[in-house]
Chains A and B, each alone.
Chain A
Amino acid sequence: AQKITQTQPGMFVQEKEAVTLDCTYDTSDPSYGLFWYKQPSSGEMIFLIYQGSYDQQNATEGRYSLNFQKARKSANLVISASQLGDSAMYFCAMREVYNNNDMRFGAGTRLTVKP
């Protein structure tokens, strides 16, 4: 069963504007972690931000913030003030406590920042 769903295969945003990348997940585990990774064209996976299922506040890391809506099982990534260097693939991923050895990834969203 698909655990992580990213419905936007591609997104465009104008430089300096904000963009939201969608992620929904499916789990029956009461405790889990949600992650976002950036994969530039060079191929490496760069950790961006983490949200725990019991965290009361939305996670923020610099220009990245996570809009966590637990009841809706969504964990959207918001990038503020987009930069040209933000153009990359973005993957949402989840680890569950009772299945916690692996990280399940979504299909990814390709973000292109236009000058």
Chain B
Amino acid sequence: EPEVTQTPSHQVTQMGQEVILRCVPISNHLYFYWYRQILGQKVEFLVSFYNNEISEKSEIFDDQFSVERPDGSNFTLKIRSTKLEDSAMYFCASSEEGRASYEQYFGPGTRLTVT
């Protein structure tokens, strides 16, 4: 069964450093998403991406964040200058369509630790 993959599974970085989290969505999916989950808290929406542009973003997704689809398979989340509060699990998700009836398939997540 096709699945969303994410690399790395765990990333440790120092405050102020740039990180890039990578995701490979399911191949025939057109909508891509990033979510984050601070330890012990709920999953929060960051950004959605369709047709090579951001379609929606939350208030969390400030200028420190950017997303890119550099080729036909990868979908990346970049944090320009990490802060301690960026420590969280980051989930990538993809969906065949953007309609409400279509589930989003989640990747296994990348645990980001900022020290």
A residues neighboring B (CB under 8 Å): 31-33, 35, 37, 42-47, 50, 52-53, 91, 93, 95-97, 99-108
Contacts and interface: CB of A to CB of B under 8 A. Distances in A.
Interface string B49-91: 0100001101000000000000000000000000000000101
A99 B56 CA distance: 9
A50 B58 CA distance: 24
Contacts of B35: 103
Contacts of A47: 103, 105-106
B43 A105 contact: yes
Contact of B58 (A96, A97, A102): A102
B108 to A, nearest CB: 5
Contacts, number: 69
A105 B42 contact: yes
B105 A101 contact: no
Contacts of A103: 33, 35, 43, 45, 93, 104
A101 B55 contact: yes
A57 to B, nearest CB: 15
B109 interface: yes
A106 B43 CA distance: 8
B42 A44 contact: no
Given A45-B91, A101-B31, A106 B105 contact: no
B115 to A, nearest CB: 20
B99 A97 contact: yes
A56 B42 CA distance: 29
Given A50-B103, A101-B55, A43 B109 contact: yes
Given A100-B98, A102-B56, A106-B42, A43 B108 contact: yes
A107 B38 CA distance: 11
A99 B31 CA distance: 14
B44 A105 contact: yes
Nearest to A47: B103
Given A45-B93, A104-B45, 14 more contacts: A33-B100, A33-B101, A33-B102, A44-B109, A45-B109, A46-B106, A52-B100, A53-B100, A91-B43, A96-B100, A100-B100, A101-B31, A103-B35, A107-B42
